Structure 1
Amino acid sequence: MTTALAPSSADDPLAYRPVALVDLLDRVLATGVVISGDLTLAIADVDLVRISLRALVASVGALAPPEDAG
């Protein structure tokens, strides 16, 4: 019995569809994405500096509430 590690194109035809960088950037800016990370500087297993980074990347239109029409 063999097990497939990745779905075949018969299971999901869009699984391995190439995405252009412009399309990917458009999707990210339309919905937004949060990037986070932690950086710790240590010497001899003693933590000296800890930096926590968080960034929100989105377009202004995605973050602004819709204006009332009336």
Structure 2
Amino acid sequence: MTAVLAPNSADDSLAYRPVALVDLLDRVLATGVVISGDITLSIADVDLVRISLRALVASVGALASPENTG
């Protein structure tokens, strides 16, 4: 399975290059990614429940590297 990364610019000849899923996962775990979202349940335009979700996905090595500490 491969994924296609979006181009950075229209002039880039390597803009649409196939990337193996395992390579993409390796890059995400090496640098880390934050996933966030909000869910609001409402009835008749009255907000009843609001849930904020935030998740950090990274490897332990990426979080403990000296580059990430203050």
TM-score by length of 2: 0.77
Partner of 2:24: 24
Task: Point out where structure 1 has 5 or more consecutive residues left out of the alignment.
Answer: 1-5
Deviations 1:30-60 (A, max 9, x none): 0000000000000000000000000000000
- Taking the aligned partners of 1:46 and 1:33, their CA distance within structure 2 comes to 33
Alignment length (residue pairs): 58
The structure whose residues are more often helix, as a share, is: 2
Task: Point out where structure 2 has 5 or more consecutive residues left out of the alignment.
Answer: 1-8
1:64–1:12 Cα change, 3 Å: same
Partner of 1:39: 39
The structure whose residues are more often strand, as a share, is: 2
Identity over the aligned pairs, expressed in percent? Answer: 90
Cα RMSD over matched residues?
Answer: 1.4
Could you say which structure has the larger radius of gyration?
1
- Does residue 61 (structure 1) correspond to residue 40 (structure 2)? The answer is no
State the 4+ residue runs in structure 1 displaced beyond 4 angstroms: none
TM-score by length of 1: 0.77
Q: CA deviation at 1:65?
A: 3.5
